[in-house]
Chain A
Amino acid sequence: MLKILRARIQQGFHTNHFPQEVPALPDRLRGAPILERARCLEGCRACVEDCPTDAIELAPVPRIDLGKCLFCTACTEVCPTGAMQHGSDYRLATRTRPDLFLESGKALELARSLEAKALALFGRSLKVRVVSAGGCNGCEVDVNVLSTIGWDLGRFGIQIVASPRHADAVVICGPITHNMAEATRKTLEATPDPKLVIAVGACAISGGPYLHQAEQHGGCEGLGIPVDLYIPGCPPHPLTILDGLLRLLNKVE
């Protein structure tokens, strides 16, 4: 017992103070991309061609589909003028699929809070069931980390639960493989209404790196699963996920 107490004292206090304070993020974090169309060379399409998931369009409107973006370095490294860059903004979650199209020169329409009735139901207590449906275990581990003492998800009234029967929300990770389609459908069915669906990561939104594969369904979009919150990334930083959840519950401005 004394040994445990001694260890506890040495370990100290590590829960971050988000949202009052934003925890330190890596200098090289690849947050929301920035496309400055004005700096593009005439006729240059290098970023469009090199993007592994074809997430970039230049016409009719220059825009990046954050639902497909893997936040890799293909576009920024090939860009001859620095018109394409990664910003440091970790806030990426949106309420609708069209909001994930980030237009040049515009700010992202970040997720709004739930409507009054839903907020009254879920705002103070949200039980979440996570389904991995073809994920690489990247999004899964970065959701899981929110339950550690470093993040302490419980202080926001959010808890990850073991059964869909106990859940208010289902988090989906992965492109929803053919072999997980039935299990995903059953999990959603087993979750009592009203429920929320949260798509975490490029795979769950659009299929991610697997979007061309016949073995998967292109995420929630491909299966027509209605989604209440989109959290893009490959995988999203835990702070991006937490920020999205708190926006939905009206706990962050």
Chain B
Amino acid sequence: MTVVSRLSSMKARHLLPEQDQREIALHYVIGVLCVLACLAALIVMASDRAARGWAREIRAEVTVQVRPTGLESGSVAAARAAEVLAGVKGVGQVTALEPEKAKALIKPWLGDAILDDLPIPNLVSVRLDDKAPATVKALTDALISHDIDASIDDHSVWLKDVEQSALTIRLISIGIFFIIFTATAAVVGFATRAGLTARATIVEVLSLCGATDLFIAQRFQYRFARMAFESGLLGAAIAAGVMAVIKATGSSQSFALALPFSWLDLLILLPCPFLVALIAAVTARIVTLRLLGGKG
């Protein structure tokens, strides 16, 4: 085999030398940022699911407070209200809360001493039909038509709080995403400047060989995009591993309620390497073109 036949085609990526220590550090930083971004994405998915679950639960139930009239006792009035409400279309299960049960609920906070003197409300818990729930107006009309004095709490105050909390979590997560990705862009921008300085001779030689600024920018663009993609892939894999460990080992009732992870959530990690590669490519391109253009 002759020397000439052993020659191989030069690749565009070979124009910039293989990575140095600075680029290994950059790999690490982008990887860490991607882990944080991916964990933030997984948490927002789980917390959003939890918030939607809580809202659904709250919407599915109303509480009716019955005020006895005339000689009727509270228990009897509550039982009568429960019977009326059970007949309304769109109502599932109806349960009149017995005074003794209500006392048992508040006993841990108030103790025995004053419990007997407290006016315990007569409550009826109404579970609405999931598909076609009865409206508050329909329930009110049914109670009025049977001369039952009652007020209905549809938990809208709680619902508003839960929805507000879910929105806050979403906004915080979007903010975290923005911060992480701008940090990624800043890190890549800094690394591009450092890379241009470290490879000033190569850039100059390419330029003197007639390379356009765009040609040189593309070399840095591909280099940093590839690096960011690899880091993003690693970051997404680590975040997926963390989620898998939490789901497999941390499945206590309270944790599962707060962050109900689903295996399908892992799909949201797929765009991460591509997104971070895109950010790196655009940043490296803009910074290189700006720096080369500034040279005049």
Do A and B actually bind?
no
Q: A interface vs B, CB < 8 Å?
A: none
Q: B interface vs A, CB < 8 Å?
A: none
